[in-house]
Structure 1
Amino acid sequence: MALFKHKFFKPFKNWFTLILVSFIVWMLFFDDNSWILHHELNTDIEALENEKEYYKKEIEKDNKAIKKLRTEDGLEKFAREEYYMKRDNEEIYIIEYEDSLKAKKNE
């Protein structure tokens, strides 16, 4: 019992202080609405909002690409570049340089 006579434990002799400290510890760590849980949920919300912004930007880029493909020239350009399509009276030669091959591998 000599251990509890130390000056560190003096405030804990008061019942109100003891109850207040136990309530604070309970609310911070053990309760369903604890600070730890709120911190995790706020982190999740922030990550989801960042993801939402990313997808909004991607939607804008896709809408621009769709507008380009709706024109006859844009559709022809896409077919020639991506699928190497050609007209009946044309020949296609594909020339690839080393630096262009490295760029394709990184994508």
Structure 2
Amino acid sequence: MVGGFLLYALVYLGFAFVQAPWQAWGLFALYGLHLGMSQGLLLALVANSIPANLRGTAFGFLNLAVGLALLPASLLAGGLWQTLGAEATFITGSLFAIASVLLLFSQRNKY
């Protein structure tokens, strides 16, 4: 999970400073790798943490939480893009990914 989030941080940092189309395409490929590294692990973490009879509910709540978090995240990204530009938006996304890694490390001994 940490590796996937760190890759996300690097990809977003790369998007902030991309200069050529081939660089953007390479970053899109790495973004796909990030998804492959992190999405399956998140779902496995939920599946392994919840009793079998509550897994459907847990996945529903996970998707609800993601959906609710996307609205303020999108508003923040749109506001940053409009006021400060694309670079600030991608750098902020990268910083949030690094903060997520730090949160994962702080919770490491609880699971």
TM-score, normalised on structure 2? Answer: 0.30
Larger radius of gyration: 1
Instruction: Indicate the structure whose relative CO is greater, using CA pairs within 8 Å and at least 6 residues apart.
Output: 2
TM-score, normalised on structure 1? Answer: 0.31
* Structure with more helix by fraction: 2
